[in-house]
């Protein structure tokens, strides 16, 4: 991605608007065609493309800048991670909140164990050094990325258990078939699947 020199105040105004509209459109569950339409809408919007064009050179550069930068980071930004998180007006649950809601207050994140891509951490039962597990969370659309760290660990001889938390959005809930597929894969891999219902 080209590193354009976009002033902080312009970036703040543009991304606050883009992220708000992405949230209203349920970006993470949009088809590619709907995302393409939104990119065009943003390019044509005087408050988005109109503000960016003086820094990205031409209208044709607006979409690539949005796509390869802020929108590539949108899901992490919603969860309070990365440089674009400050522009999210309606944040989603962080990994700490997801762990607390799904596993309960008796579990804590092992210091310096948080990772991204996918969002994961090692957790342990409070007061116990031995009762640890790996925890990874994300949407069904990223399921193959959620299981990959567990596969790598298993193939390398790691024995700590894995809990894969699939985020189940209120507006677009998982189907019975989705959950059956998860359970088949969980049984095959020897991992635990749980769900986080996100409003």
Model confidence over 68-84: pLDDT tens digits?
999 999 999 999 999 99
- Residue 62: both structure tokens together: 């607006």
pLDDT at 22 over 70: yes
- Residue 171: both structure tokens together: 């507006």
pLDDT at 1 over 80: no
Rounded to 10 degrees, the C-alpha dihedral 178/37/79/154 comes to 40
Cβ neighbours for 183, distance < 8 A, ≥ 6 positions apart: 193
**CA–CA distance, 43 with 105 (Å, rounded to integer):** 45
- Residue-range domain boundaries for the chain: 8-87, 95-198
**CA–CA distance, 160 with 134 (Å, rounded to integer):** 7
pLDDT in tens, 88-112: 998 999 999 999 999 999 999 999 9
Q: What is the pLDDT of residue 158?
A: 84
Confidence of residue 129 (pLDDT cuts 50, 70, 90): confident
pLDDT at 2 over 80: no
Look at 70-79, 101-110, 125-134, 135-144 and tell me which has the smallest mean pLDDT.
125-134
**CA–CA distance, 84 with 79 (Å, rounded to integer):** 10
- Residue bearing tokens 């009762």: 131
């Amino acid at each position: 991605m080209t590193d354009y020199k976009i002033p902080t105040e312009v970036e703040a105004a543009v991304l606050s608007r883009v992220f708000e509209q992405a949230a209203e459109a349920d970006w993470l569950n949009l088809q590619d065609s709907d995302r393409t339409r939104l990119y065009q809408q943003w390019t044509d919007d005087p408050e988005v493309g109109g503000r960016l064009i003086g820094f990205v050179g031409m209208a044709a550069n607006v979409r690539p800048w949005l796509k390869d930068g802020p929108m590539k980071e949108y899901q992490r930004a919603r969860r309070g991670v990365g440089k674009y998180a400050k522009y999210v007006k309606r944040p989603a649950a962080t990994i700490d909140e997801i762990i607390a809601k799904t596993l309960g207050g008796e579990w804590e994140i092992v210091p310096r164990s948080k990772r991204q891509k996918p969002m994961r951490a090692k957790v342990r039962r409070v007061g116990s050094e031995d009762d640890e597990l790996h925890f990874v969370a994300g949407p069904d659309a990223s399921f193959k990325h959620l299981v990959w760290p567990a596969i790598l660990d298993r193939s390398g001889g790691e024995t700590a258990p894995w809990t894969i938390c699939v985020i189940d959005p209120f507006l677009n809930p998982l189907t019975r078939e989705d959950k059956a597929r998860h359970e088949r894969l969980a049984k095959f891999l020897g991992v635990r699947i749980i769900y986080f219902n996100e409003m």
